[in-house]
Amino acid sequence: MKKRYLTLFCLLVPFMQTYAQTGKANAGLLAKADAALQLAAKQYKGMMAVLPANVLPKTTKSKDGSLETSNSGWWTSGFYPGTNWYLYEYTKDPIFKDEALKRMELVKKEQFNTSTHDLGFMMYCSFGNALRITKDTAYRSILLTSARSLCTRFNPTVGCIKSWDHGTWKFPVIIDNMMNLELLNWASRTSGDQSFAKIARTHANTTIKNHYRNDYSSFHVVDYDPATGKINERKTAQGAADSSAWARGQAWGLYGFTMMYRDTRDKKYLAQAKQIADYMLNHPNMPADLIPYWDFNAPGIPDALRDVSAGAITASALLELSGYAGKTEGKRYWSAAEKILNSLCSDAYLAKEGTNNHFILMHSVGSIPHKSEVDVPLTYADYYFVEALLRYKNLAK
């Protein structure tokens, strides 16, 4: 019994810390947040009414505007059930819980998947939220198995978790991988096995050393020699150029290092998160509404496409970071997050009820170089938007 309560406490710790400090809330934005969350609930009820039983939503097809879905093995499979958990948390309507549970049955088998680095996205966003909200410890073993599967991709010589098994790279590591470390930190807290957290810290430390330029912008891909740990090359897959700052990559790093500080209280992670935030917010190519272009060095600015997913991730991260930074910095990060949320709640980015294939946000960019998911809704943009709205409401209490 004591172990059960310890497990629950360990799960809740990061969420309690996230909401430990608050900025001054704006009444107008709080009203917009509620309106956006109510719209999100309506949109996702519409989504679940048309979504086939054996798939998960992904995006909108650019050719004909129809709904594009995925199987459970696609890296975004955890976001739809995760968003439904957030909406259940907000509305208390059991339809969202039932939908989350239904779709999690599809994702459950991925706990054994050792061919992907994205198990944090897939499993922690879905099963992690399920455990946090329901307190049902049956999810604990699924998450621990997921963490063990993720650890099989760690190479101690490189000091990182391998991202991809495809392409011409030898041992590619992408900045996105910072997001999957939260699963490992949780696994150490709940199991007492510090090997999970050691891998997470080692990966984060190697990322600071090798992924970041002097101005605190991030490369997308760093390819290593798995035998020696030496860097083969620094490239991009989804950005405008190898030397550019792909917007969502900057957002992944900001969120990931903020999370690492929350979980470890190691000040180097806080310093890294603040430097990334300052790079993004002070960038001369950051638009006035703080919804970034798909790449900070994209060709065609100011007519380049925006990436709403990068904006949503950034808003959620800045809200949390505002509580860890000093008073002056914290206020600046808080204000920036508010500005992003105000933008995302506007007609420019927020879909009308019944449109957008029932996704919440419009105008995200998956990969322009691959001509994939260009100027469409994306399931992870919805997830981090709803998360950011709930964080704002909780922090404002």
- C-alpha dist (Å) from residue 330 to 261, 284, 290, 334: 15, 21, 17, 6
Which tokens in the block code for residue 258? 């903020």
Which tokens in the block code for residue 129? 């939220």
Angle at the Cα of 135 from the Cα atoms of 132 and 139, rounded to 5 degrees: 80
Which tokens in the block code for residue 278? 């300052």
Q: Of all helices (H) and strands (E), which one includes residue 161?
A: strand 160-161
Tell me how far apart the alpha carbons of residues 95 and 188 are, in angstroms, rounded to a whole number: 33
Pick the closest to residue 275 from 334, 341, 208, 219 (CA basis).
Answer: 208
DSSP structure string for 17-51: HHTSS--PPPHHHHHHHHHHHHHHHHHHHHHHHHS
Residue among 118, 223, 263, 295 flagged as catalytic = 118
Which position has the token pair 């925006």? 306
Residue among 64, 136, 176, 266 flagged as catalytic = 176
For the question of residue 118 being annotated catalytic, the response is yes
Tell me how far apart the alpha carbons of residues 397 and 392 are, in angstroms, rounded to a whole number: 9
Q: Which of the residues are catalytic? A: 118, 176
